[in-house]
A and B are shown apart, each in its own frame.
Chain A
Amino acid sequence: MSGGTFLGMPAFPEAAAAAVRDTRLRGNLRHATGTIRAKRAQAVAELPDWAGLRAAGAAIKDRTLRHLDHYLERLEEAVTASGGTVHWAADAAEANRIVTQLVRATGESEVVKVKSMATQEIGLNAALEAAGIRAYETDLAELIVQLGDDLPSHILVPAIHRNRGEIRDVFRSEMGRWGRPAPEDLSEEPAELAEAARLHLREKFLRAKVGISGANFMVAETGTLVVVESEGNGRMCLTLPETLISVVGIEKVVPTWRDLEVFLQLLPRSSTAERMNPYTSMWTGAADAEGADGPRDFHLVLLDNGRTDALADTVGRQALRCIRCSACLNVCPVYERAGGHAYGSAYPGPIGAILTPQLRGTVTELDASLPYASSLCGACYEVCPVAIDIPQVLVHLRERVVEGGEATVRGRRTTVRPARGHAAERAAMRAARWVFEHPAALRAGQRLASRTRRLHPRRLPGPGRAWTASRELPEVPAESFRDWWLRERGDDGGGRKGRGERGERRDRGGDR
């Protein structure tokens, strides 16, 4: 029972179309995202200096990313000086190998986990299971996903696609197979569900010798790691086990404690709409003295896995500012209808649509479809606490998909070839460009359309069917605006003929 896998999933449009037809999923998501949307807006509106905080958050991240090598080395020095061990993992396979070896070295075959996006990204649980090590998720929503042999569909609330009734069913049927069973008469009351999870997990906390976590932030100046959470399960996993292994993306480093001040305000309000999250755990290296709290053995696995490639892209690199608050998911009308699974990665929603194609490339049909999983409405950019211009990056990645071009892949400058299946579209775009460069041709086309307007079908074949399946076509008018102007006003722009003639002359110049 390793949980599902995102491998081999269909491209976004197909998966999303299936999700749209799933009325229960739609109801669950509409309810959950609608609630948190309103709360976030309120929590953010409370702070008079939100715009300033947001700009500061973006600036700190940008500065840190510009000198990432420097801050990572300072971090390594500080962690090492306080008794921790730092490992560098270039990709998912290397990170999984390191963690597996570290767990094996302890002689344990069980670990408890703090909710972590990085370990979802690399598929750590499956890798551990292949090595005979069982990983127990301890975040409530992550537990629901794990027990249900399901996939996470949200950054913060991985089981957001489930309602209470579904959760009760999963607890009743699956908990017993993993440890302490749920009570027979478990109801779908949130308090009862939480209590069942608490009792089930408590056993695991008390027994576990090895904990695995990610981190929200790493402070370079002292080598301190930070986890913010709401449930307290994280605090248990970070303090009770003897060995703690943290797998963290290299972009999570911040230079100083003062920088944390900004992010500890931005994150909870954007994420859970709380002024401050209930638990903020910070630790520096390993506990040295007898009787000191916390793990004796601390390992930090610094994960690249495509991040330096993204860093090399001057437009795409802003995605590395992300603090995984999930505000962009909650506000996204496409996410609300497509659901998280359609994005085919641990990172769903708008941030997933710009992060996954940078971390994994745009080679598979699914990954190449992700930059198009957006109407470019800009709601994500508006709420993002670190001002990632997600629409700008989406359009930038669309260009990589259809036109190819220079990109950094596994550390090397590479010329990416355009994705397949865009030939007809490319030809149409070229033709359109030619027409728009030749207003006389545009006018001729408009006249032809007007003359034949009574003959136009109401339903289109081919790609046009995607339009007429659910919408009427606009009627073509008897005359374009251009023709009306020529007929009524008879010249080019109130006597300023020069420009028009220029345009028309260019017209006759033929294609470039």
Chain B
Amino acid sequence: MRVALFVTCVTDTLYPGTGQAALAVLERLGVEVDFPLAQSCCGQPQFNTGYRRETEPLVRRFAEVFRGYDHIVTPSGSCAAMVRENHPRIAARAPGGRSADEADEVAEVAEVASRTYELSEFLVDVLGVTDVGAYYPHTVTYHPTCHGLRTLGLGDRPRRLLENVRGLELMELPGAGECCGFGGTFAVKNAAVSAEMGADKARGIEGTGARAVCAVDNSCLMHIGGILARRGSAVRPVHLAEILASTDGGAATDGGTAGGTVGGAKEEAR
């Protein structure tokens, strides 16, 4: 099984700890993971802002970079949704597509897209694992991010993984399915509404009493975490991969996580 990690531009640049954690979880489960260096961005920020044509070369690049792999795994619900839902549409609408070569390219984009998985999907559906042997002795609340929830239909996969983490206490988040207000460029184009949505989400999170808020998207966590920090809140954003990578040997990553690690797994275990 040839598996590639698509780390995403946000995680690559700002949250390398999440990438390391995803890698650690997969390798712990015996998966050999490649990281093709030619990867960059799925094109979601450009596409969702209306720049479809600027997205076309990134869509082609994605297919070229990842075509040799059986599975492409990414620690982002919204990037996985962008690839699976929109890459085939963008390729089909791109100019050309008449010659046999171009038709092949369109088919290849769709084919590679269909083999792209968000991390929890890959763990549960492809590997058939819900207990990854993690240990994380903290109270955690889970925010299902929109594209994971509604476009990918992740359902309870992330929760099932969390429920099997030893030491972890899952707190229910009221109104969990409501958007946190990030929305890519929405966060700056409609900053007032975005911040208000974020503040409501932050209040909900604080109300659970959890020490950490977990999600499968670092971009949403960046927004939620930024608001929580500005509010002086003690709740930390943590990517699902980082929780799953933690073992009683300590956190598997060495920094650069969405909000830093919560304490250290060991320290609290005592």
Contacts and interface: CB of A to CB of B under 8 A. Distances in A.
B16 A481 contact: yes
B54 A429 contact: yes
B188 interface: yes
B35 A489 contact: yes
A36 interface: no
B190 A373 contact: yes
A162 B228 CA distance: 32
Contacts of A333: 178-179, 181, 197
A425 B45 CA distance: 12
Contacts of B196: 20, 337
B28 interface: no
B65 interface: yes
A485 B24 CA distance: 12
B36 A496 contact: yes
Interface in A396-444: 397-403, 425-426, 429-430, 432-433, 435-437, 439, 442
Contacts of B179: 333, 375, 377, 379
B37 A504 contact: yes
B64 interface: yes
Nearest to B18: A481
Given A426-B51, A430-B54, A13 B9 contact: no
B46 A433 contact: yes
Given A379-B179, A395-B48, A436-B58, A337 B38 contact: no
B40 A439 contact: yes
Interface string B35-64: 111111101011111111111011001001
A493 B4 contact: yes
Given A378-B147, A429-B46, A484-B20, A470 B37 contact: no
B19 A432 contact: no
B259 to A, nearest CB: 9
B144 to A, nearest CB: 11
Nearest to A14: B192
Contacts of A379: 146, 150, 177-179
A20 B41 CA distance: 34
Contact of B17 (A397, A401, A477): A477
A441 to B, nearest CB: 10
Contacts of B7: 481-482
A474 B185 CA distance: 16
A469 B195 contact: yes
Interface stretch (B100-108, B114-122, B126-134, B219-227): B219-227
A12 B58 CA distance: 31
B181 A503 contact: no
A454 interface: no
Nearest to A398: B50
Interface string A468-512: 011111101111111011100100111010011011101000001
B193 A20 contact: yes
Contact of B38 (A373, A381, A503): A503
B183 A374 contact: yes
SS class, residues of chain B in contact with chain A: helix
A298 B43 CA distance: 54
A122 interface: no
A437 B40 contact: yes
A378 B17 contact: no
A500 B36 contact: yes
Nearest to A486: B37
B255 interface: yes
Interface in A215-242: none
Nearest to B4: A493
Given A333-B197, A375-B179, A381-B150, A502 B51 contact: no
Interface string B2-18: 00100101011111110
A50 interface: no
A382 interface: yes
A494 B32 contact: yes
A401 B68 contact: no
A377 B183 contact: yes
Contact of B58 (A372, A437, A467, A477): A437
Contact of A463 (B36, B40, B188, B197): B188
A433 B58 contact: yes
Nearest to B2: A496
A472 B229 contact: yes
Contacts of A446: 12-13
B150 A466 contact: no
Interface in A1-36: 12-13, 16-17, 20-21
A466 B54 contact: no
A338 interface: yes
Nearest to B191: A466
Given A463-B188, A469-B195, A477-B17, A403 B51 contact: yes
28 contacts: A17-B192, A21-B192, A337-B193, A371-B50, A375-B184, A375-B186, A376-B146, A379-B177, A395-B48, A402-B49, A403-B50, A429-B46, A429-B49, A433-B54, A433-B58, A467-B187, A469-B195, A470-B195, A471-B227, A474-B225, A477-B17, A478-B256, A480-B13, A480-B16, A485-B19, A486-B37, A493-B35, A500-B38
Closest CB pairs A-B (n = 6) = A503-B38, A375-B183, A471-B226, A398-B50, A493-B34, A477-B256
Given A375-B183, A502-B64, 12 more contacts: A13-B189, A334-B197, A375-B194, A376-B48, A379-B178, A401-B50, A436-B9, A437-B58, A471-B198, A471-B230, A472-B230, A484-B20
